[in-house]
Structure 1
Amino acid sequence: MSFVENLAQQLLYNPEEPILFNSAFFLYFFAAFLLCYQLVRNHERGRVWVFTLFSLYFFYKACGAFVGLVVLSAIVDFYLSNRIYREENERTRRGLLWFSIVINLGMLFYFKYTNFFIDIINGISSGHISPVNILLPIGISFYTFENLSYTIDVYRREIKPVERFLDYLFFLSFFPKLMMGPIVRAADFIPQIYKPYVLTREDVGKGLLLIMGGLFKKVVISDFIYQNFVQYIFDDPTRYTGIECLFGVYGYALVIYCDFSGYSDMAIGIARWMGFVIPPNFDKPYKSSSITEFWRRWHISLSSWLRDYVYIPLGGSRKGKWRQHLNLMLTMLIGGFWHGASWNFIFWGGVHGAALGLDKQWKKLGLLKNAGGLKARLWKIGGVLFTFHLVCFCWVFFKCETFGGARDLLHQVAFNFQGGLGLQLLQAYPKVFVVMGLGYLLHFIPEKAERQVETGLVKLPLWGSIAVLTLFVWFLNEVKTQEPMLPIYLQF
């Protein structure tokens, strides 16, 4: 194969090797992007053009022709949002809003839920409708929610729509968050487009910490634990004892957190280097002492989106206790369904919805209102342990493809525990449990220690930051697993 043919093969979309933040090709992509971006850093229009073109190419390398869906959805919502903003007739405005909602959700439902509803129809009517061969476009759940929030905010007159189509396409296709979020609000992002590009030491240091921390969580912790332990447990729980299954669930809790938060951190860090501040998407969720607190710390961009565009419009807590519980349940069922076309995801959302309702009632009792000192600390520890295990119970249904698989795993934990094999389990997977211990230790490390590391990185000169990042990339290359694992949330 000639050099030209090899280069063309590298530059074209390959479904077997989608571009990822931890892939080798991304390093070349990012280097080329940085070079072009620095050349136009003092020109607003130049920055928009460079970022948009590189973002669209990034998405092309990730999912091929589906990049056209991003452009198409940007065209539709750019046009409709401007029509909604200029329109004075409320009935027409509402009609245009619903048209936007139907278009966005219709596209999402077609690609993501068609076969799910075909299965339901076949089950109800004993029909024989054949499933449709549909590939799920990467990132469609994330940019669909961004489109919806933008149009709804314009309808509410909370923001003014952009005047240039390229600015909206830039917002929607922004490559650091395009495939797996965070779900960014236009009101937070678009005003930053027009600000001068200024990169401070603080931006470099914070961005470096986020990128290195994200890579470490994804490559060193998540991939290693999954490939060397967790996947075996979930492939066939009946082959393992209850204690192995339990630690498999503990491992998966760390895997999904490090996988998703790692990518979110990298996206936020890369954006910070480019002059854009994106709000954090995770805040040490397993420190939560209640399920309500968990959802303030886990996938913050999704939970806040569901709160503002589903829960509150349904009535929130304004229409009485039972209506509030219903609204919580509906919101979390929608959140579960957003993750995938499966009854397991719906059940996962339903359990969280019920738990949120019970937590609201528990807090209204006020039993711990005057608790202090040792009693308060013990309740806090108990709350963290209970919340963590409730979340882990839900992760079983999130991870297993069927209720049968979830039942088998829970059965092993409940009826075939064999706790006496704990020492043998540690001896069988020593590296796995060292990495798991490290992962949880880093998760619960005091924020003061993190700030000290951040302060140290902020004080580094530019050449020092480059040296640290280079050494870190070399370290990752030495310890990473041979087969890179696709991010879990890439399927959503």
Structure 2
Amino acid sequence: MEKIIDIDVQKLLSTLLYNPEDPVLFNSAFFFYFFALFLLCYLLFSGSKKGRVWVFTLFSLYFFYKACGYYVGLVILSAIVDFNLARWLHQAQRRSLRVFLLVFSIVVNIGLLFYFKYTDFFIGIINEVTAGHIRPLHLLLPIGISFYTFENLSYTIDVYRREIPPVDDFMDYLFFLSFFPKLMMGPIVRAADFIPQISQRYYLTAEDIGTGMYLIISGLFKKMVISDFIYLNFVQYIFDDPSKHTGLECLLGVYGYALVIYCDFSGYSDMAIGIARWTGFRIPPNFETPYRSASITEFWRRWHISLSSWLRDYLYIPLGGNRKGKVRQYINLALTMLIGGFWHGASWNFIFWGGLHGTALALDKVRLTWLKRSGMVFSGWGAILLKGLGILLTFHFVCFCWIFFKAATFHDAWALIHQVAYDFQPEIWKELYLGYRTVFALMLLGFGLHFLSASGGQHVMEKALARVPVWGSVAILVIFIWLLIQVKTTQPMIPIYFQF
């Protein structure tokens, strides 16, 4: 009997403690139990602002511990540093002191990010250039560090600009930084948008319940059904070794990856926004059907909105934006996207990916300037055809860039492009279709929902869910999760943006 109890205790401890082989994910069984317990405790303290903050913060820190172990200390350390720096910034009168404190905050935040994310990358460059033998550190990247670093920076910079006052209560700031729905994969939330909501009375409307339910369900569907299945059953085979596959397979693999990365990241973002909505917080959308964009400029207004707006406000505009002439504007765009690419990871592939997008954005600005000066206006069928062509070209340019984003090396990326250009073999389409019917059906479903979806359809679903009583909402979610368990892949797929 004692042995059985000991075994049960050990199993319980192994479940509750951090396991690097099994990080907590929104689509894991552990998360559903965690979230149910969290909601129960949160509702018990919903009448007290301090109680809500403490419950949410403790659960968030535990959630982060389950995701990356003792690196949870970095979130606490970052909160302590920037909470105090922002207060000193606000109190300081001398401009030189304020600039020093701002620079110190930037150095600390970027320094931590650089140390964990880019040290080995630059050690490799030094070794190549100098024929040196410096040992890489092989540091484990703390999950979410790229996201909460940018949140820290935006907070300190906003206080420096006197756009917002500093937070008075440290727990409020720690709550903002560690808020578990967005901690590991974003969206990147700004203190100016989030912190004022902390003091608001917790009250949920039927719209909040319906919208939250819709976002959670649609996010789970995009992530677990569409993204995971297509990646594990098709896309990963293509990108593992493109030279073994025909050009037709490679092209379809690129289309598949375009859908995978969108459904993976937007699905997680939707779940984060939906969970936040259920807890009384409104987070802006992070994606707005990006593949329906008719230009690369429009694409970056619709894709990873929180990152692109952050880069615009805290990098592109401070560099000069479009205020110092056209040539400088194009250079600023290229630099911003290069840094945005490097933010994604310590790899030349990401830098090249960012450079491609930066170049395309600069060229798009040239196009827009030319159209404005020429006074050329399209209407009727001409405008419709032009928009359709713009969507087609933009989508394929984005897909071309995804090749370098996904491929492990430049060699793999060019091997895939070579197969598409020189070994297409369209005659194998029938065998390919028979081998991957389910994959292609899901791809058609995913792209169909993306390109044909209208905001009205989402509102109809949200209103329908809002009319369901609480017990009905719980039943719908339980049934939906049960259905997902029946169809989900046996091999769990770590979210793509988990690595950033």
Which aligned pairs between 1:333-482 and structure 2 lie closer than 5 A? 333-366=338-371, 369-444=376-451, 445-482=453-490
Following superposition, the deviation at residue 452 of structure 1 comes to 1.5
Which aligned pairs between 1:225-236 and structure 2 lie closer than 5 A? 225-236=230-241
Bigger Cα displacement from structure 2, 131-140 vs 366-375: 366-375
Helix, strand or coil: the match of 2:329? helix
C-alpha separation between the residues in 1 aligned to 2:264 and 2:376? 37
C-alpha separation between the residues in 2 aligned to 1:423 and 1:390? 27
Q: Deviations over 1:77-97 (max 9, x none)?
A: 001000000000110000000
Helix, strand or coil: the match of 1:135? coil
| 1:388 aligned partner, one-letter code | F
Q: Which runs of 5 or more structure 1 residues have no equivalent in the other structure? A: none
Helix, strand or coil: the match of 1:2? helix
Which aligned pairs between 1:236-251 and structure 2 lie closer than 5 A? 236-251=241-256
Following superposition, the deviation at residue 185 of structure 1 comes to 0.3
| 1:407 aligned partner, one-letter code | W
Helix, strand or coil: the match of 2:164? coil
Residues 1:355 and 1:331: Cα distance change in structure 2 (over 3 Å): same
Which aligned pairs between 1:102-251 and structure 2 lie closer than 5 A? 102-251=107-256
Tell me whether 1:76 sits opposite 2:89 in the alignment: no
C-alpha separation between the residues in 1 aligned to 2:104 and 2:385? 52
C-alpha separation between the residues in 2 aligned to 1:14 and 1:455? 40
Following superposition, the deviation at residue 287 of structure 1 comes to 0.3
Following superposition, the deviation at residue 447 of structure 1 comes to 2.2
C-alpha separation between the residues in 2 aligned to 1:330 and 1:176? 31
The match for 2:294 is 289
C-alpha separation between the residues in 1 aligned to 2:455 and 2:143? 34
Tell me whether 1:324 sits opposite 2:329 in the alignment: yes
Following superposition, the deviation at residue 368 of structure 1 comes to 8.0
Tell me whether 1:485 sits opposite 2:490 in the alignment: no
Following superposition, the deviation at residue 424 of structure 1 comes to 2.3
Percent of aligned pairs sharing the same letter: 67
Q: Which runs of 5 or more structure 2 residues have no equivalent in the other structure? A: 1-5
Following superposition, the deviation at residue 375 of structure 1 comes to 0.7
C-alpha separation between the residues in 2 aligned to 1:16 and 1:80? 36
Bigger Cα displacement from structure 2, 225-234 vs 459-468: 459-468
| 2:88 aligned partner, one-letter code | R
RMSD of Structure 2 on Structure 1 (CA): 0.9
Tell me whether 1:273 sits opposite 2:285 in the alignment: no
C-alpha separation between the residues in 2 aligned to 1:201 and 1:357? 45
Following superposition, the deviation at residue 369 of structure 1 comes to 4.0
Runs of 4+ residues deviating >4 angstroms:
none
| 1:85 aligned partner, one-letter code | H
C-alpha separation between the residues in 2 aligned to 1:50 and 1:475? 31
The match for 2:67 is 62
TM-score (norm 2): 0.97
Following superposition, the deviation at residue 471 of structure 1 comes to 1.2
C-alpha separation between the residues in 1 aligned to 2:367 and 2:427? 36
C-alpha separation between the residues in 2 aligned to 1:491 and 1:368? 46
Following superposition, the deviation at residue 145 of structure 1 comes to 0.3
Following superposition, the deviation at residue 311 of structure 1 comes to 0.1
C-alpha separation between the residues in 2 aligned to 1:422 and 1:290? 31
Following superposition, the deviation at residue 401 of structure 1 comes to 1.5
C-alpha separation between the residues in 2 aligned to 1:313 and 1:419? 49
Q: Deviations over 1:131-186 (max 9, x none)?
A: 11211000000000000000000000000011111110000000000000000000
Tell me whether 1:39 sits opposite 2:44 in the alignment: yes
Helix, strand or coil: the match of 1:313? coil
Helix, strand or coil: the match of 2:317? helix
C-alpha separation between the residues in 2 aligned to 1:2 and 1:106? 44
